[in-house]
Amino acid sequence: MGSLFLRNLNYFIGAAFVVMLVIALVGTVSGLVSNPPQETVDEAFHVHPTPLHLESDGPFGKFNDRQLQRGFQVYKEVCSACHSLKHVAFRNLEDIGYSEGQVKTIAAEYQVPTFDPKTGDRDTRPGVPADTFPIVYYPGQGSPPDLSMIAKAREGGAAYIHALITGYRNPKTFTKDGKSLMKEFPDFKVPDGLHFNPYFANLNIAMPPPLTKEGQVQYMDGTRPTIDQMSKDVAAFLVWAAEPKLEARHRAGVAAVIFLLIFIGLAFGAYKNIWRDIKH
């Protein structure tokens, strides 16, 4: 009798718990329907980048060395003043079509910090191909974001880089989906020293627009240096910097798939040969 009472009590408690959960769920859903959460300023102004199609995309993608060299030129003349490539060695530039002599010349244009453990003295010397790109420091501010892995560190990769570079806007005239958001958020202001960019996570970025006019970089191969073209080229270069062995990985992947297909075919043939005379 006592065990039956305890069992019924357990059923009652379980049923009451389920009922309370259902009541809470219904109350939450009805509350969201009647009073939907208000969109924040960041959510309202933020824009996701549109896809950027590069020749390196897809399982059969390959790098375009001419584009990578143009992208490196943009990085060297515009970005390198603030951003380093500490995981890229100068000699790696041979992989995108530069000769050994050109790499030596490029490396020598940079000053690489040195340290003498005997005297404790710090100095600089011209770079050599074995050196990595030196880290850029600002006194009292540390080092700006390194760009070696930026294409992998940011969602969207190359598309995000291209959108960020070309996405600076005036918030007063900025529209999204055909409507001006300043009417909805009239108190929105860009803090002094920052710049409005709807592709940046919190909208306001300290970096001023890096590319401001056509021809800011004069391409040596004759390509028209529009802002859009320069931003695409540097985005492609940073994809290579983040994954320089991408082509080798693609080749290995294709070879592995071909091997597996051949192996499956041989295994199926062996199966049919062994079991063909055996009746079930």
| Residue list, annotated binding site | 79, 82-83, 207
Q: How far apart are CA 106 and CA 124, in angstroms?
A: 16
Task: Report the binding-site residues for heme c.
Answer: 79, 82-83, 207
User: Residue 208, Cβ neighbours under 10 Å: how many?
Assistant: 11
Instruction: Give the DSSP H/E element, type plus range, for residue 111.
Output: strand 111-115
Q: How far apart are CA 20 and CA 28, in angstroms?
A: 12
Task: Give the max Cα distance, the chain.
Answer: 96
Residue type, 6: L
Q: How far apart are CA 114 and CA 102, in angstroms?
A: 23
The DSSP string of 138-184 is BTTTB-PPP-TTHHHHSTTTHHHHHHHHH----TTT-EETTEEHHHH
Three-class SS state of 204: strand
Alpha-helix runs per DSSP H in the chain: 2-34, 41-45, 65-74, 100-108, 150-153, 158-166, 181-184, 227-242, 246-275
Three-class SS state of 126: strand
Assess contact for 232 and 52: CB atoms under 8 A.
yes
Assess contact for 168 and 200: CB atoms under 8 A.
no
